[in-house]
Amino acid sequence: MPAGPPPDTGGDPLARERAHLSVSRAALRVMREETENLDIRDVTANWVNAAVLQAQIEERVKALADLADTPLFFGRLDFTRPPGLKDAEGAEGERFYIGRRHVHDADGDPLVIDWRAPVSTAYYQASRQRPMDVGRRRRFGYTGGELTAYEDEVLSGPGSEQSDPGTSKLLQREIERPRVGPMRDIVATIQPEQDGIVRSDLSGTVCVQGGPGTGKTAVGLHRVAYLLYAHRDRLARTGTLVIGPNRSFLSYIEQVLPALGEMEVRQATVADLVAVPGVEVRGEDDARAATVKGDARMAEVLRRALRAHVSMPTEGVVVVRGSRRWRLAVYEVEELVRELLDRDMRYGAAREALPQRLAHAVLVQMERAGEAPDDRVQATVARNAAVKATVNAVWPKVEPAKLVLRLLSDPEFLAEHAEGLLDAEEQAAILWPKPARSVKSAKWSAADAVLVDEARDLVERTHSLGHVVLDEAQDLSPMQYRAVGRRCSTGSATVLGDLAQGTTPWATRTWAEALRHLGKEEAHIEELTAGFRVPREVIAYASKLLPAIAPDLAEVRSVRESPGSLLVRHVAEDARDAAVLAACREALGHEGSIGLIAADTRVPALASALAEAGLAHLEPGTETTRESRLTLVPASLAKGLEYDYVVLDEPAAVVAGEADEPTGLRRLYVALTRAVSGLTVLHAEELPGALAAA
């Protein structure tokens, strides 16, 4: 059975597409009802299985919901010949509707194909140069859940020469659709260069360099959804994780995966990952201390400090059993300790192995003496008090947080283990001004918590997940990359970032170096060059900063012309706040979200000014609604976010808010690239860097 309606031989194509939509919706309803009515008593009498099954069924019922405002399908492929059966999800037809999920009719024939199915690849990848057996590609446009438009591209056969793809109007409309609420998915319009990354294989790590608004975040999230589809069982076992820079960003992206039917993906910041009870982050480092603490050399300092706890025995072991005494000489114990030290084992695992090794050596003596001890005897000897005492003396238990506490509190201990790694100035920079008395009372900083995580991993191997997506990666320190890397040591990663947007003193300089710290040197690096968010005029303005902040990077190629989208105005200092309010009011005259971005230090004053003017505002991380559309964004939290209209307050203050000028200019570059439809820059001071040149 062909999957869709008969070929277009006349009549109103839109009406026929709508008919297919109704049929598909009805079929989805039936699928849902069938799932709801599944009587699991027929399947299992075991209550544990029943509970698990019931939960799975409920998940499936949820997944089969027909959401009124999410189109069931968004595209159609007409193949010139049936694609290989293997790829066709069992369909023999030549026409496929592509949507968010698979829908089939009563006979099991597909009405809508999941966007992640192999046959859907052509929807995203086929071009006139490489038609992939596609004659026509149709994209659908919806207005409020109604199918209202379509756009055709003839990729092969008659008419293909005249068909000029250009920038799809539907794509343009989709990008410019006013933003309310959290980030939305892009399944309907994933572009070929993005799709290549989304569908790349689970086994390899991909690193994506892309300028502002090139879709890195979107691509990372769609890749997770794709991998979960293609490797569902494996990833259900091993787990997936999305890492973002802060809570506001995570709340902004949190709806994308559930909207794609994926409810089980954990989202966290690096700070969340390394958090442990008892090590409460209450302190802050200055830039110098944080930089040294984040340096990869710290891993070696920790390793040395930990191994220094192992000492060679000064006496042998005497095990008394009944009337007999068994002795291990000092040199025998030493040999066993050295053997464990030479092996690539975690400290804790080696500590657990040592009593067994000692017991085994005792057993060998027993056998030599004609006894026939079994495994139980070995276990008993391993628990013997003398053996335990030896283990505690030569391989003592180490608490990771205490180890770090000592390094940061005790100059001599630090000097001993940092020798040849950190110079005196670096050591002085990381020592706490006031030594801490206990783990509980110490004022741990974010960088300290990462050190504790490293120490923990040296003691006990960190659990690795199947796949990790790391967004805004350019801001991570080498030690943070290591923390992320051990969480995917046996899995793979998608690393997303933009070297021009690095705003930490330790920001990544090259991806090769970052990947080395992550432990994924073999990763391939991809580049996204087309910009979807920022209109051409605005990106050209922001890109004036590139020679100063990232000379090797090219300007993003915006897919959208939007004349009049940029307004830069000089105002007198005493008129600045009033001008900001006026710009916000004007922006509120448009549909969609508005971000007022300002230096962190300017935020309190602007918050009061907004309140006095009766303009309600939100904080980043709070969802915009049709009623509440204005967010006051401290520049330090703007990364990764976007608004239909942005008002940028005093660029010079944004730059001055950072430790040095290059970092300040990068922060400004981030702030300048958040707008989808319009950017208004208001300044009383001189514009920073290359923006000053007219």
Ligand X SMILES: Nc1ncnc2c1ncn2[C@@H]1O[C@H](COP(=O)(O)OP(=O)(O)OP(=O)(O)O)[C@@H](O)[C@H]1O
Residue placing its CB nearer to ligand X in the complex, 305 or 539: 539
Residue placing its CB nearer to ligand X in the complex, 355 or 678: 678
Residue nearest ligand X, Cβ-based: 215
CB-count burial class (<10 Å; 0-12, 13-18, 19+) for 620: buried
**What are the backbone angles phi and psi of residue 453, rounded to the nearest 5°?**
-65, -40
**CA distance to 302, 415, 457, 497, per residue, from 454 (Å):** 8, 19, 5, 23
For residue 499, give the DSSP letter. G
Structure tokens, 598 = 């300002």
Residue placing its CB nearer to ligand X in the complex, 295 or 642: 642
Residue placing its CB nearer to ligand X in the complex, 74 or 79: 74
Q: What whole-number distance in Å separates Cα of residue 3 and Cα of residue 7?
A: 11
Return the axis-axis angle of helices 385-394 and 330-342, rounded to nearest 10°.
Answer: 50
Q: Is 217 annotated as ligand-binding?
A: yes
CA-based nearest residue to 74, from 21, 127, 110, 34: 21
> How many Å is the Cα radius of gyration of the chain?
31
Residue placing its CB nearer to ligand X in the complex, 142 or 432: 142
Give the shortest CB-266-to-ligand X separation in angstroms.
19
Q: What whole-number distance in Å separates Cα of residue 486 and Cα of residue 465?
A: 9
Give the shortest CB-593-to-ligand X separation in angstroms.
11
Give the shortest CB-528-to-ligand X separation in angstroms.
7
Given a contact cutoff of 8 angstroms between Cβ atoms, the answer to whether 95 and 78 are in contact is yes
Residue placing its CB nearer to ligand X in the complex, 517 or 666: 666
Q: What whole-number distance in Å separates Cα of residue 131 and Cα of residue 154?
A: 9
Virtual torsion, Cα 339, 343, 347, 350, nearest 10 deg: -50
Give the shortest CB-171-to-ligand X separation in angstroms.
6
**What are the backbone angles phi and psi of residue 386, rounded to the nearest 5°?**
-65, -40
Q: Is 216 annotated as ligand-binding?
A: yes
Q: Is 212 annotated as ligand-binding?
A: yes
Residue placing its CB nearer to ligand X in the complex, 427 or 501: 501
Q: Is 520 annotated as ligand-binding?
A: no
> What's the angle, vertex CA 297, arms to CA 441 and CA 553, rounded to 5?
110
Structure tokens, 293 = 């603490």
Give the shortest CB-489-to-ligand X separation in angstroms.
26
Q: Is 5 annotated as ligand-binding?
A: no
Give the shortest CB-116-to-ligand X separation in angstroms.
15
Give the shortest CB-61-to-ligand X separation in angstroms.
28
Interface with ligand X (CB under 6 A): 171, 174-175, 186, 189-191, 194, 210, 212-218, 498, 501, 532-533, 640, 642, 673
Number of H helices, E strands in the chain: 28, 21
Neighbours of 393 (CB within 10 A): 12
Give the shortest CB-118-to-ligand X separation in angstroms.
20
Residue placing its CB nearer to ligand X in the complex, 488 or 534: 534
Q: What whole-number distance in Å separates Cα of residue 433 and Cα of residue 501?
A: 32
Structure tokens, 81 = 């010949």
Give the shortest CB-360-to-ligand X separation in angstroms.
55
Q: Is 316 annotated as ligand-binding?
A: no
Residue placing its CB nearer to ligand X in the complex, 82 or 621: 621
The sheet carrying 594-598 orders its strands as 566-570, 675-683, 643-649, 594-598, 630-634
The binding site for ATP consists of 210-217
The binding site consists of 210-217
